Amino acid sequence: MYYKIKSSDKYCQQELVNELLDLCEFLPGLKGRSLVTGTCQLYFTLLHVVDREDELLADNKLLGFESECHSLPIFSDFRNLCSEEYLARSEEAIQQMAEWAEEIVKEKCPVVLSRIERKDLDILECEIADEFQFGP
């Protein structure tokens, strides 16, 4: 079960937004296992930035994708526990997941980049300090 961060901390929230935007700029250039793990990270980050009812999550494509990844050795810590034979057998499934991830990234990332605005964290930090010192 995942929970949306309920924080009024503007800085932390904007940091997550900027991370999401970085992912959406970076993911289209990835292939294979890197693309699969990055797409899972896209899902986790979106959960913290947008509401579950948002169109980016409402179709459950990312949820379905992330769920399918649980049985595959895509993350390094899991891969270290697997035998070479299991890793070799899993490679075809990982490549199929990468093809699915490519479709999701082509669909979701342009929407994120067009809807969500990046903000310089240094400027935001100054604005927050001013609000704290002088009031809103």
Instruction: Give me the DSSP letters along 9-77.
Output: -HHHHHHHHHHHHHHHHHGGG--HHHHHHHHHHHHHHHHHHS-TTSHHHHT-HHHHHHHHHTTS--SHH
List pLDDT tens digits, range 82-115. 899 999 999 999 999 999 999 999 999 999 999 9
Judge whether 104 lies within some domain: yes
Judge whether 76 lies within some domain: yes
Distance of alpha carbon 34 from its chain centroid, rounded? 12
Judge whether 4 lies within some domain: no
Judge whether 72 lies within some domain: yes
Taking the C-alpha atoms of residue 75 and residue 73, their distance in angstroms, rounded to an integer, is 6
More confident residue, 113 or 81: 113
Tokens encoding 81? 């526990």
Judge whether 2 lies within some domain: no
- Residue among 12, 42, 40, 37 at smallest CA distance from 24: 42
Domain that holds residue 56: 11-131
Judge whether 6 lies within some domain: no
* Tally of domains within the chain: 1
The overall pTM is greater than 0.95? no
Judge whether 1 lies within some domain: no
Q: Which residues 6+ apart lie within 8 Å of 89 measured at CB?
A: none
Judge whether 118 lies within some domain: yes
Q: pLDDT at residue 1 above 60?
A: no
List pLDDT tens digits, range 30-76. 999 999 999 999 999 999 999 889 999 999 999 999 999 888 888 88
- The model's confidence at residue 4, banded by pLDDT at 50, 70 and 90, is very low
Question: Residue type at 126?
Answer: C
Tokens encoding 100? 């699915």
